[in-house]
């Protein structure tokens, strides 16, 4: 019998996806669950609701709460945290690079490194130089990889992944979807998603 | 030293406030925390964001998720669940009655009974007859109590409680606020709020 599976849907600009990315691999491994990283563009889904930026910017009380809450969560986990400016960061190019890496061996490490650069170091993840440095740190050749990330097949793949997220009913990030289609939204629901994934196996 | 305190802010029409109300008293008692029930009107806060109904109605993917999620949570807790129609229920009169009861001895039981009527039995909690039957079930005289709930002092109290919720940065329900002003939003953050309340004592 194959290991139970869980899809981890996230946007590289999503705040709560940072702690989720940092903890999903050890937790899933402990639970005997195989995780698949599925980056997508949350902004495209927000746009359909008539939002041109994050709800954390549109609704100030919600935004203030989120920053404080994220700070608490990172402190509890011992994760460094620095608020990126501007928020949200432009995650399009990073998501495309992630898809190149997820088709190779270094995709998950790249995503985690992008989250650290953005939310622990406050770097601009929309910047090619920053992404190039992250790739170099993973011993991945930056120039060819950034070129591949701009190829038509990767662009189409990111569009189809975002469409698939929407089809699954995803409206925020992080979201977790089990093999039988159960959706769990939010970093704090990761444990429930892992339990569901093992139970429904 | 007095017991650590936690304020439980909720709207009687709020879906996730149902499981929160059902579990907060035993969990707080176990943690040695004193809980104060603070009903308010979430609709008044939504209005300031330009919303004329619940975001679960305005944003269909979010609404679909919430109903499924609530069903899962109730199943896990062994709580009966029935989706109220219409949603949200009119919670104004029930909130006023709750304030009368919270100034007496039966407020918490009344709130729990309203949540059960609404989310376990699918009853109309805006209906005076239903509220009267709930009061009678608690051995509280319905006619005088419903009249007191419509008094100017109770109306003013509910307005000032709602203003206080807003001042505290509350934008959703349930929310939990510790004595030192930390805000936690959502049924699934109750445990964190209780830990914070005891730690910050």
Average pLDDT over residues A56-72: 94
The Cα of B61 is separated from the nearest Cα of chain A by a number of Å equal to 6
Q: CA B120, CA A15: separation in Å to the nearest integer?
A: 35
Q: Tokens 């309340």 map to which residue? A: B197
What's the confidence (pLDDT) of residue B39? 98
What's the confidence (pLDDT) of residue B200? 79
pLDDT in tens, A10-41: 999 999 999 999 999 999 999 999 999 999 99
Average pLDDT over residues B157-181: 97
Q: Which residues of A touch B72 (CB under 8 A)?
A: 192
Between B127 and A1, whose confidence is greater?
B127
Q: CA A91, CA A45: separation in Å to the nearest integer?
A: 14
**Percent of chain B having pLDDT more than 70?**
100
What's the confidence (pLDDT) of residue B65? 97
Q: Which residues of B touch A170 (CB under 8 A)?
A: 61
pLDDT in tens, A96-141: 999 999 999 999 999 999 999 999 999 999 999 999 999 999 999 9
Taking CA atoms, what residue in B is nearest to A61? B169
Q: CA A177, CA A193: separation in Å to the nearest integer?
A: 7
* pLDDT score of A2 more than 90: no
pLDDT in tens, B2-20: 889 999 999 999 999 999 9
Q: Say if residue A174 is preceded by a cis peptide, omega within 30 of 0.
A: yes
* pLDDT score of A201 more than 80: no
Average pLDDT, chain B: 96
Flag whether the ipTM exceeds 0.90: yes
Residues 6+ apart with CB under 8 A from A158: A39, A40, A41, A92, A95, A96, A99
Residue-by-residue DSSP string for B75-117: HHHT------SSSS---HHHHHHHHHHHTSS-HHHHHHHHHHH
Q: Taking a C-beta distance cutoff of 8 angstroms, is the pair A129, A143 a contact?
A: no
Structure tokens at B103: 């100034």
Interface residues on A facing B, Cβ-Cβ cutoff 8 A: 49, 59, 61-62, 64-65, 68-69, 72, 166, 169-172, 183-186, 188-189, 192
Interface residues on B facing A, Cβ-Cβ cutoff 8 A: 49, 59, 61-62, 64-65, 68-69, 72, 166, 169-172, 183-186, 188-189, 192
* pLDDT score of A3 more than 90: no
What's the confidence (pLDDT) of residue B50? 84
**Percent of chain A having pLDDT more than 70?**
100
Q: Which residues of A touch B185 (CB under 8 A)?
A: 65, 69
Question: Predicted confidence band at B201 (pLDDT cuts at 50, 70, 90)?
Answer: low
Average pLDDT over residues A136-157: 98
Question: Predicted confidence band at A146 (pLDDT cuts at 50, 70, 90)?
Answer: very high
pLDDT in tens, B89-143: 999 999 999 999 999 999 999 999 999 999 999 999 999 999 999 999 999 999 9
């Amino acid at each position: 019998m194959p290991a139970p599976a869980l899809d981890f849907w996230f946007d590289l600009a999503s705040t709560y996806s940072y702690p989720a990315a940092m903890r999903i691999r050890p937790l899933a491994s402990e639970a005997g669950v195989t995780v698949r990283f599925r980056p997508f563009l949350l902004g495209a889904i927000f746009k359909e609701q008539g939002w041109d930026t994050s709800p954390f910017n549109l609704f100030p009380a919600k935004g203030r709460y989120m920053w404080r809450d994220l700070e608490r969560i990172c402190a509890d986990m011992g994760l460094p945290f620095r608020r990126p400016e501007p928020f949200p960061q432009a995650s399009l190019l990073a998501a495309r690079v992630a898809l190149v890496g997820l088709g190779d061996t270094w995709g998950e490490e790249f995503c985690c490194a992008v989250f650290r650069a953005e939310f622990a170091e406050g770097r601009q993840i929309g910047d090619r130089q920053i992404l190039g440095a992250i790739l170099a740190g993973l011993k991945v050749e930056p120039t060819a990889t950034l070129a591949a990330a701009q190829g038509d097949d990767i662009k189409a793949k990111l569009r189809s992944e975002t469409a698939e997220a929407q089809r699954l009913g995803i409206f925020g990030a992080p979201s977790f979807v089990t093999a039988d289609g159960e959706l769990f939204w939010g970093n704090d629901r990761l444990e429930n998603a892992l339990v569901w994934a093992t139970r429904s196996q």
